[in-house]
Structure 1
Amino acid sequence: MTQLVFFLEEPSAREMLKGLLPRLFPNTYEMVYLVFEGKQDLEKRLPRKLRAWQRADARFIVLQDKDSADCVELKQRLAQLCTQAGREDALVRIACHELESWYLGDLTAVATAIGPAGLARQQGSRKFRDPDRLANPYQELKRIAPEYQKVSGSRTIGPYLSIENNRSISFNVFISGIQRLIAEGATI
């Protein structure tokens, strides 16, 4: 069974992926989540972890928040670390600005998971049409869904995130990247 190995900067990403990915790949892949203690820890330890991985059938995905960094520079830096470790085929994806942007891209999932009930109606408003543009999505999500907590909220929202209907461009790029990585790996 092929491994999908995720390098993540925080536990909330793992919890969201545990709810999301089984709907994409039910019982087809072994999911491995390596959670680091923030961005700096991820960047410091990523090359060593990639070099040490022994399974030939493993596929690697690196996910990190953009926060206030330049998205292109951040992605290039992470891709360079993967290349230096001999894993130029690793998929590098950036959540713009934060993982919460992905949740704001699907307010129906947020409303279903943690409420409030009428939240989904706001998806068409200007603010939530392109949630990747919001400078501080965590604060925005906390404002409209006060019950949200990073880890437990991610665990609760993940199973409801729509794979087809999310307004976050970075979420859609993440999903299509994984699907492409899997399709390319199927021939190996």
Structure 2
Amino acid sequence: MKTLVFFLEEPSAKAMLEGILPRILPRQWLVRYIVFQGKQDLEKNLTKKIRHWRMPNSVFIVMRDQDAGDCRAIKSRLNLLCEGAKDKRILVRIACRELESFYLGDLAAVEQGLNLSGLRGLQQKKKYRNPDSLGSPSKELSMLTGYAYEKLSGSRAIAPFMALDHNCSKSFQALLTGIQKMVAA
């Protein structure tokens, strides 16, 4: 059995992954989630968690929000934290701004998951064609849904409906491509 281990900054990322991974992972893969209490906790404990991981045939994906930081600097810092585990396969992925940009990249899934109407047609508006460029995707999603979206319950509701082949979020597409490459190698 092979294990795909996710190191995540928050529970809503786990909820999102639980909704999409069954559709893309081969059956021989077991998934483990290590959920931290925010980005500081993730960065403080990441090296130790990876270094002390003892399950054989494991590969790792570290996922974190960009928030207001510099994407390249964050990715570089996370890669440096992973260097202590040179014998392990590790991939770092950053959600541009916030996880909610993934959902704004598929408004049909938001509409279906939250049982709303009138959202899918907004996908063609300029700001939703590139949701990774929005300053505060969580606020945008909350307002767009009439405050029906909440981080954890919203992630659980939306993720199962997300289209895996035509999401407008480039960071979501990079995450999917990365996962597929990790399990194919």
- Deviation of the 1:25 alpha carbon: 1.3
Give the CA deviation at 1:86. 2.8
How far 1:53 moved relative to its partner? 0.6
2: CA distance between counterparts of 1:172 and 1:108?
16
Answer yes or no: is 1:153 the counterpart of 2:157: no
Verify the 8 A CA contact 1:50 1:87 in the aligned structure 2. Answer: no
Distance 2:134 2:112 in 1: 22
Letter in 2 for 1:153: G
**Conservation of the 8 A alpha-carbon contact between 2:114 and 2:157:** yes
Give the number of equivalent residue pairs.
184
TM-score, length of structure 2 as denominator length: 0.96
Q: Find the aligned partners of 1:87 and 1:163 in 2 and give their Cα distance.
A: 31
Letter aligned with residue 179 of structure 2? I
1:132 maps to what in 2?
A: 132
Amino acid in the other structure paired with 2:28: T
Name 1:177's counterpart in structure 2.
178
- State the secondary structure of the residue aligned to 1:178: helix
3-state SS of the aligned residue for 1:63? strand
Normalising by the residue count of structure 1, what TM-score does the alignment of the two structures yield? 0.95
**What are structure 2's unaligned runs of at least 5 residues?**
none
Map of 1:78-93 to 2, 5 A cutoff?
78-86=78-86, 89-93=89-93
- Report how far residue 115 of structure 1 moved: 3.7
What residue number does 1:4 align with?
4
Return structure 1 stretches of 4+ with deviation > 4 angstroms: none
Alignment-derived partner of residue 24 in structure 2:
24
* Separation in structure 1 between the aligned mates of residue 123 and residue 173 of structure 2, nearest angstrom: 16
SS in 2 for 1:93: strand
The residue number in structure 2 matching 1:59 is 59
| Further displaced range: 108-117 or 168-177 | 108-117
Partner of 1:41: 41
**Aligned Cα root-mean-square deviation (Å):** 1.1
1:147-170 Cα offsets, whole Å, 9 max, x none, are: 100000001111111110100000
Aligned to 1:107: 107
Q: Please report how far the alpha carbon of residue 87 of structure 1 lies from its aligned counterpart in structure 2 after TM superposition.
A: 5.2
